[in-house]
């Protein structure tokens, strides 16, 4: 499951069946399968961002390396504030800090749900408040070929805007797949809370063959706006993942995601 897939490097692993020598140093903390995305420095602090892939519109798991001017990994407390600067207006996006705000040995993890791409409309940055200091890190966000974020305005009040991030399946395959989404509401331009009280019905549908599939489990809320279920794809091809989302027993939206196997 992508939302639970944290890439932790193992430092100081015990040597099994091999004699440890002085030359066999522990693996550096940030030598993982993650890719370096970008970095920024103000001379005193350097922040480097890592992820599975370049930042995209949707749910991004991010690992930050925080070090001082001498390259020493820092510990302390951090907070990250996203900002899309559109010249005439500014807004944030949903953020998650699953491990809290404390970090040790330079490693700080968070999730960012970017709601639009960088480009002519505006530019994103992530501002870090680290141990009382601040550093803005410009980031580029792309629109993926297959949308991983859907939005809709509530059909009930015609005002409330919801954002649904498809977290899993990240690499869909024929058969049973973990299905996870995150749902957030645009409360204000800077406040995007998780929505935890929804009822979600799901139907996978193959338009070209005009059929669905059996043995699916509707997503149910787990924590912090994350809903978990199972989706079953019976063959390769182009599918739609159709969602019917209700709040207080009333249907508020029917977003969908295109899935290609």
Q: What is the mean pLDDT of residues 71-95?
A: 97
Q: State percent of the chain over pLDDT 90.
A: 87
> Comparing C-alpha atoms, which of 29, 33, 40 is closest to residue 106?
29
The CATH label, of 2.60.40.10, 3.10.450.50, 3.10.20.440, 3.40.50.2300, for the domain at 32-139 is 2.60.40.10
One DSSP character per residue, 177-207 reads EEEEEEEEE--SSS---B--SEEEEEEEEBT
pLDDT at 24: 47
> Cα dist. 172→151, 222, 237 in Å?
21, 21, 11
Query: Residue 57 in contact with residue 37, Cβ under 8 Å?
Result: no
pLDDT at 2: 55
Q: What is the pLDDT confidence band of residue 33, given thresholds at 50, 70 and 90?
A: confident
φ and ψ at 252, to 5 degrees?
A: -115, -20
φ and ψ at 4, to 5 degrees?
A: -110, 5
Do 149-260 and 32-139 fall under one CATH topology? yes
pTM, whole model, 2 decimals? 0.88
- The span from the CA of 205 to the CA of 60, in Å, is 26
226: buried, middle or exposed (CB in 10 Å: 19+, 13-18, 0-12)? Answer: buried
Least confident range from 5-9, 42-46, 93-97, 151-155: namely 5-9
> Cα dist. 128→45, 94, 136, 166, 189 in Å?
10, 15, 6, 26, 19
pLDDT tens, position by position, 184-219: 999 999 999 999 999 999 999 999 999 999 999 999
Query: Please, what's the b/e burial string for 84-100 (b: 16 or more CB within 10 A of its CB; e: otherwise)?
Result: beeeeeebbbbbbeeee
Query: Please, what's the b/e burial string for 201-220 (b: 16 or more CB within 10 A of its CB; e: otherwise)?
Result: ebebebeeeeeebeebebbe
pLDDT at 161: 98
Question: CB within 8 A of 53, min separation 6: which ones?
Answer: 35
CATH class entry, domain 149-260: mainly beta
CA 112 to chain CA centroid, nearest Å? 5
Least confident range from 33-37, 52-56, 183-187, 225-229: namely 33-37
Query: Residue 252 in contact with residue 231, Cβ under 8 Å?
Result: no
Query: Residue 17 in contact with residue 8, Cβ under 8 Å?
Result: no
Query: Residue 93 in contact with residue 192, Cβ under 8 Å?
Result: yes
pLDDT tens, position by position, 54-69: 999 999 999 999 999 9
> Comparing C-alpha atoms, which of 246, 213, 217, 241 is closest to residue 149?
241
pLDDT at residue 160 greater than cutoff 60: yes
Q: Provide the Cα torsion 238, 180, 35, 184; round to 10°.
A: 110
Domain ranges for the chain, please list them. Answer: 32-139, 149-260
């Amino acid at each position: 499951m992508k939302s639970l897939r944290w890439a932790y490097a193992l430092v100081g692993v015990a040597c099994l069946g091999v004699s440890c020598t002085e030359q066999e140093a522990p693996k550096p903390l940030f030598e993982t399968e993650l890719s370096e995305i970008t970095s920024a420095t103000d001379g005193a602090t350097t922040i480097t961002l890592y992820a599975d892939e370049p930042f995209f519109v949707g749910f991004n798991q991010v690992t930050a390396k925080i070090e001082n001017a001498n390259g020493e990994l820092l510990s302390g407390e951090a907070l990250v504030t996203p900002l899309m600067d559109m010249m005439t207006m500014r807004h944030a996006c949903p953020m998650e800090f699953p491990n809290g705000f404390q970090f040790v040995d330079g490693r700080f993890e968070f999730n960012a749900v970017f709601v639009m791409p960088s480009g002519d409309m505006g530019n994103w940055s992530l501002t870090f408040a680290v141990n009382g200091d601040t550093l803005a890190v410009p980031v580029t966000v792309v629109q993926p070929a297959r949308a991983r974020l859907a939005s809709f305005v509530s059909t009930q009040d015609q005002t409330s805007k919801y954002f649904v991030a498809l977290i899993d399946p990240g690499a869909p395959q024929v058969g049973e797949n973990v299905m996870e989404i995150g749902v957030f509401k645009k409360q204000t331009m800077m406040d995007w809370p998780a929505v935890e009280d929804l009822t979600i019905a799901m139907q996978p549908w193959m338009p070209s063959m005009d059929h669905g599939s059996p043995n699916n489990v509707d997503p149910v809320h787990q924590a912090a706006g994350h809903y978990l279920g199972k989706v079953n794809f019976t063959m390769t091809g182009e599918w739609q993942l159709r969602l019917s989302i209700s709040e207080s027993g009333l249907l508020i939206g029917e977003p969908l995601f295109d899935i290609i196997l």
